[in-house]
Structures are given as structure tokens and as C-alpha cells.
């Protein structure tokens, strides 16, 4: 059964997929391009890989969830697993950014602005992880209600 979501939903879906592809290209191409331009690659730039991959996983879960929205199978165990993966990815990214801060304050002279900026990013991704966890619990309850309703003759 096909479901319809609003125009904004369709726009977001397309945007998500475009950003996903752009991100893959950036992550794969960034360091080699910098090397080719003879720009010094600080050790810290290598953090792009774990953070990037985790973020791609996160976005992919969202793409799959959008798909399930379209097919009206939103309240399913599959989506709960996807929300779990998304939450774990987000939490991992927050940890990576935190490590980046510690790493750079030890190895480089980082401006105060950068430190504050990275702390903000850490808290942001922690917030996303928390929101995804809450959503997961809500979905779990919703599935129970749906099953109860489906099995009421």
C-alpha cells in the first residue's frame, strides 16, 4: 500500500538523498585533493573518515525510514533497529568530535573559538542521539498499540 506524504516531505526526501551522495564524494575525495594541492594534511583531518562514515550510516537509516514511510510500514520492528543504529552513529560522532577537541588541544594551538565550536557540535550530536532514543521508545509503544488494534476483530 503506497502512502503519500506532503510536498515538504518529498522535498526533504530528495534533499536527503542528494546530500548523501555529495557527502560520499566529499569524504572520498577531500584528502586526496588536498594532497594534490600540496596542502599540509594535519593529523586531525583524518578524523573525517570515522565521522564521515558514521554520518553516512546515520543518513542511510533516515533514507530507509523515509522509504518505509512511503510504503506505510513505518511502525515496524525494522524501523526500531534503524533508529537504534542512527542513535548509535550519532553518539559515536559526538564521541569522535570530543576526541578531536582533546587531540587538538594537546597537539596544536587551537583558538578558543574552535574549541567552543567543537564543544557545541559534541552537545548537538549528543542531543540528536537522545532525541533518536526517545523516538525509538515512542515507536516501540506505537507498535504495541498498532498490534493491539490490528488484532482487534
Partner 1 sequence: MPIIVNLDVILAKRKMSSNELAEKIGITQANLSILKTNKGKAIRFSTLEKICEVLNCTPGDILEYRKNEKYE
The residues binding partner 1 (CB under 8 A) are 147-148, 151-153
Beta carbon of residue 25, minimum distance to partner 1 (angstroms, whole number): 48
Q: Decide whether 111 or 152 has the Cβ nearer to partner 1.
A: 152
Site of grid cell 506524504: 5
User: Collapsing DSSP states into helix, strand and coil, what is residue 9?
Assistant: helix
Beta carbon of residue 150, minimum distance to partner 1 (angstroms, whole number): 9
Q: Decide whether 137 or 147 has the Cβ nearer to partner 1.
A: 147
Beta carbon of residue 144, minimum distance to partner 1 (angstroms, whole number): 10
Rounded Cα–Cα distance for residues 21 and 5 (Å)? 23
The Cβ of residue 140 has, within 10 Å, a number of other Cβ atoms equal to: 14
Q: Decide whether 35 or 72 has the Cβ nearer to partner 1.
A: 72
Beta carbon of residue 146, minimum distance to partner 1 (angstroms, whole number): 11
> Is 86 within 8 Å of 61 (Cβ atoms)?
yes
Handedness of CA 101, 118, 136, 27 (dihedral sign): negative
Name, in order, each residue with C-beta under 8 angstroms of 68's C-beta and a sequence gap of 6 or more.
74, 76, 78, 79
Q: Decide whether 8 or 153 has the Cβ nearer to partner 1.
A: 153
First-to-last CA distance in the chain? Answer: 21
Beta carbon of residue 78, minimum distance to partner 1 (angstroms, whole number): 22
Q: Decide whether 6 or 149 has the Cβ nearer to partner 1.
A: 149
Rounded Cα–Cα distance for residues 144 and 45 (Å)? 45
Amino acid at each position: 500500500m503506497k502512502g503519500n506524504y506532503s510536498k515538504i516531505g518529498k522535498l526533504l526526501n530528495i534533499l536527503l538523498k542528494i546530500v548523501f551522495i555529495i557527502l560520499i564524494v566529499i569524504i572520498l575525495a577531500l584528502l586526496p585533493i588536498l594532497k594534490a594541492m600540496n596542502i599540509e594534511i594535519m593529523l586531525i583531518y583524518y578524523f573525517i573518515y570515522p565521522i564521515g562514515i558514521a554520518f553516512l550510516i546515520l543518513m542511510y537509516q533516515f533514507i530507509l525510514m523515509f522509504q518505509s514511510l512511503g510504503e506505510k510500514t513505518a511502525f515496524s520492528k525494522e524501523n526500531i533497529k534503524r533508529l537504534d543504529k542512527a542513535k548509535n552513529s550519532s553518539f559515536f560522532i559526538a564521541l569522535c568530535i570530543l576526541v578531536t577537541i582533546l587531540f587538538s588541544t594537546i597537539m596544536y594551538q587551537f583558538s578558543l573559538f574552535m574549541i567552543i565550536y567543537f564543544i557545541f557540535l559534541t552537545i548537538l550530536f549528543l542531543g540528536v542521539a537522545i532525541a533518536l532514543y526517545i523516538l525509538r521508545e515512542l515507536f516501540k509503544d506505537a507498535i504495541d498499540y498498532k498490534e493491539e488494534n490490528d488484532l482487534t476483530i
